[in-house]
Amino acid sequence: MKKLPLYLKIIIGLVLGIVWALVSSSLGWSSFTINWIAPFGTIFINLLKLIAVPLVLFSIINGVAGIGDPSSLGRMGGKTLLAYLATTLLAVTLGLVLVNIVKPGERVDESSRIDNRISYELWAKSEGIAVKDGISFLSKPEYKDRVQAVAALEQTKTVDEAVSSRLKTVESNKKSGPLKPLVDLVPANIFKSLSDNGLMLQIIFFALFFGISLLFIPKAKSDPVIKFVDGTMEVFLKMIDIVMQAAPFFVFALLAGVISKMAGDDIGKVIEIFKGLSWYSITVFVGLVLMIFVVYPLILKLLVRVIPYNGFFKAMGLAQTTAFSTSSSAATLPVTMECVEENLGVDKKITSFVLPIGATVNMDGTVLYQAIVVVFLAQFHMIDLTLGQQLTIVLTATLASIGSAAVPSAGLVMLIVVLGSVGLNPAWIAIIFPVDRILDMCRTVVNVTGDATVSSIIAKSEGMFNYDGKKDPDEAFDPEK
Ligand code: ASP
């Protein structure tokens, strides 16, 4: 019998995980799944992250040193950032177009939208924010009773604890001045940054600085450092090959855990959760699917040409399934690097520089989702966003996606900033919270696919692209090779 390819085994693990969660929750075994199976999913994510942080460090140093001279580095760096910005803008525009066409927030009954609107006006009043679109239910005498009812309810409503504590951190960050993000980019202690997966931008800064400095010291001194970095990187990549052999089981455990936590002992709950937010979820999902199956293939066809439609998915399948199950582009990075390098044929000089940066700053799925969420929540509260406000969304969502750490739910947390930028209530993220994990899984696939697309473009433009499509994608993860 022909051996099953690894990505198929992972998909089987994924499906079995979902089936297990559904069966176990209907039999009332959810706590067994959460206590005894889900931890293996956490172990998988930990193993991947364990490799991701040192890999980012070593691979960027290696990439910069590999490029050789500062002027090619500048050219490639410029091209990379430009390409990342272009795909991000494309994604955010697609998100805005979709949400304005589908109008998911208006597909709820009128009466709840009026209550939502009243609640928004009450919040805006308490925050001293001017309501710009001229509607005011608070001043209409016929709505007096309703306003009172909503106000009473507001007082008993508490925002989910996790959300409110995150809100506080973002609020305190906001108070620290406009140049705070720039200050945050420069670490005071690299060992501190290395111990926190959320500080990837600082690690990138350090690695670029270290790599560039390496180019300016005598060759006799830099050579042993480069050899050490190169060898260490190989060790990390080998570690990933070993971990990936057990990925099908780990993915089973991850999915079983995620769904069981959502469902508890009542599977009907998952369906209920999605029903209320179905139009919103569908809009995000359609946007993400369009990015993966239409936008990226089109970009590749126009700019890279040589990869056939199926070839790209065959090469990237493992990275995409890993992204889906882990919800983290940082954890997926080692897998993405192997897929892009070995299966797509992008030169190591490009992958080791472009991909670690991309995993942190290029999040097309996240930006598309953020644009949709903000407009959806506005529609849901009967608020008409002006063109100016929608342009503000483009800008802040772009920045927020760059600032989002490549970990689960990072996009949701950064939404607080985007909502605030157009005068909407940041606590509304609680509304979409129930379906966020599943959408997070989907947007992470787009984030990773976007990085692979950009690496191919850069590699092609630098003449460092050697795709032949004949290789078995599993070879890249064979621990014996
Ligand atoms: N989970 C996403 C990622 O790691 C970020 C997000 O929450 O959108 O790429």
For residue 95, what pLDDT is reported? 97
Calculate mean pLDDT across residues 361-377.
95
Q: Which numbered atom of ligand 1 lies nearest the CA of 332?
A: 4
419 in ligand 1 pocket by Cβ < 6 Å?
no
436 in ligand 1 pocket by Cβ < 6 Å?
no
Calculate mean pLDDT across residues 152-162.
54
pLDDT digits (tens, 9 = 90+) for 467-481: 887 778 788 788 777
CA dist list (Å): 164 to 69, 129, 175, 323, 428: 48, 20, 17, 28, 11
Lowest mean pLDDT among 2-11, 158-167, 229-238: 158-167
Model confidence band, residue 216 (pLDDT cutoffs 50, 70, 90) = very high
Model confidence band, residue 161 (pLDDT cutoffs 50, 70, 90) = very low
Calculate mean pLDDT across residues 135-142.
80
Lowest mean pLDDT among 41-50, 254-263, 358-367: 254-263
Query: What is the 3-class SS of 115-164, one letter each residue?
Result: HHHHHHHHHHHHHCCCCCCCCCCCCCHHHHHHHHHHHHHHHHCCCCHHHH
Q: Residue 475: is it exposed, middle or buried by C-beta count within 10 angstroms (0-12/13-18/19+)?
A: exposed
In percent, how much of the chain has pLDDT > 90?
50
326 in ligand 1 pocket by Cβ < 6 Å?
no
For residue 404, what pLDDT is reported? 83
DSSP 401-462: HHHS-SSTTHHHHHHHHHHHHTT--GGGHHHHHHHHHHHHHHHHHHHHHHHHHHHHHHHHHT
For residue 142, what pLDDT is reported? 80
Calculate mean pLDDT across residues 368-395.
93
Whether 274 has a pLDDT exceeding 80, the answer reads: no
For residue 1, what pLDDT is reported? 46
9 in ligand 1 pocket by Cβ < 6 Å?
no
411 in ligand 1 pocket by Cβ < 6 Å?
yes
Lowest mean pLDDT among 15-24, 66-75, 307-316, 365-374: 66-75
Q: Which carries the bigger pLDDT value, residue 168 or residue 98?
A: 98
Task: Calculate how far, in angstroms, residue 441's C-alpha sits from the geometric centre of ligand 1.
Answer: 8
Q: Cβ neighbours of residue 53 under 8 Å, at least 6 residues apart?
A: 194, 197, 200, 203, 330
Contact present, 478 and 339 (Cβ < 8 Å): no
Whether 162 has a pLDDT exceeding 50, the answer reads: no
Task: Calculate how far, in angstroms, residue 28's C-alpha sits from the geometric centre of ligand 1.
Answer: 31
327 in ligand 1 pocket by Cβ < 6 Å?
yes
Task: Tell me the average pLDDT of the chain.
Answer: 87
Whether 158 has a pLDDT exceeding 50, the answer reads: no
Calculate mean pLDDT across residues 389-410.
89
Task: Calculate how far, in angstroms, residue 329's C-alpha sits from the geometric centre of ligand 1.
Answer: 6
Q: Cβ neighbours of residue 398 under 8 Å, at least 6 residues apart?
A: 85, 88, 89, 92, 367
Task: Calculate how far, in angstroms, residue 55's C-alpha sits from the geometric centre of ligand 1.
Answer: 19
Calculate mean pLDDT across residues 57-66.
89
Topology annotation, domain 6-477 = Proton glutamate symport protein (1.10.3860)
For residue 110, what pLDDT is reported? 80
Model confidence band, residue 306 (pLDDT cutoffs 50, 70, 90) = confident
Q: Find, among 386, 451, 377, the residue nearest to 418 by Cα.
A: 377
409 in ligand 1 pocket by Cβ < 6 Å?
yes
328 in ligand 1 pocket by Cβ < 6 Å?
yes
Whether 157 has a pLDDT exceeding 70, the answer reads: no
Whether 154 has a pLDDT exceeding 90, the answer reads: no
- Measured from the Cβ of residue 381, the count of other Cβ atoms closer than 10 Å reads 22
Q: How far apart are CA 353 and CA 346, in angstroms?
A: 12
Task: Calculate how far, in angstroms, residue 204's C-alpha sits from the geometric centre of ligand 1.
Answer: 18
For residue 296, what pLDDT is reported? 97
CA angle 448, 451, 457 (to 5 degrees): 145
For ligand 1, atom 8: residue with the closest CA: 411
Task: Calculate how far, in angstroms, residue 210's C-alpha sits from the geometric centre of ligand 1.
Answer: 27
Calculate mean pLDDT across residues 436-441.
92
In our burial notation (b when 16+ CB lie closer than 10 A, e otherwise), range 303-325 reads ebebbeeebbbbbbbbbbbbbbb
Q: Find, among 337, 349, 326, the residue nearest to 458 by Cα.
A: 349
Lowest mean pLDDT among 124-133, 300-309, 384-393, 446-455: 124-133
For residue 170, what pLDDT is reported? 56
Model confidence band, residue 337 (pLDDT cutoffs 50, 70, 90) = very high
Task: Calculate how far, in angstroms, residue 407's C-alpha sits from the geometric centre of ligand 1.
Answer: 5
360 in ligand 1 pocket by Cβ < 6 Å?
no
Task: Calculate how far, in angstroms, residue 284's C-alpha sits from the geometric centre of ligand 1.
Answer: 14
CA dist list (Å): 347 to 12, 48, 62, 78, 171: 31, 23, 13, 18, 43
Task: Calculate how far, in angstroms, residue 152's C-alpha sits from the geometric centre of ligand 1.
Answer: 36
- Out of 326, 404, 448, mutate this one to test ligand 1's pocket (max ligand atoms within 8 Å of CB): namely 404
Q: Which numbered atom of ligand 1 lies nearest the CA of 404?
A: 5
Q: Which amino acid is at 45?
A: I
Q: Which of 113-122, 230-239, 332-341 has the highest mean pLDDT?
A: 332-341
For residue 173, what pLDDT is reported? 54
Task: Calculate how far, in angstroms, residue 255's C-alpha sits from the geometric centre of ligand 1.
Answer: 17
329 in ligand 1 pocket by Cβ < 6 Å?
yes
For residue 433, what pLDDT is reported? 86
Whether 358 has a pLDDT exceeding 70, the answer reads: yes
Domain positions in the chain: 6-477
Q: Which numbered atom of ligand 1 lies nearest the CA of 366?
A: 8
Calculate mean pLDDT across residues 150-171.
56
Q: How far apart are CA 245 and CA 31, in angstroms?
A: 28
User: Taking the CA atoms of the chain, what radius of gyration do you get in angstroms?
Assistant: 23
Q: Which amino acid is at 286?
A: V
Q: Which numbered atom of ligand 1 lies nearest the CA of 365?
A: 8
Q: Which carries the bigger pLDDT value, residue 269 or residue 302?
A: 302
For residue 383, what pLDDT is reported? 92
Calculate mean pLDDT across residues 80-95.
96
DSSP class of 469: S
For residue 168, what pLDDT is reported? 56
Instruction: Return the axis-axis angle of helices 348-361 and 329-338, rounded to nearest 10°.
Output: 160
Task: Calculate how far, in angstroms, residue 364's C-alpha sits from the geometric centre of ligand 1.
Answer: 10
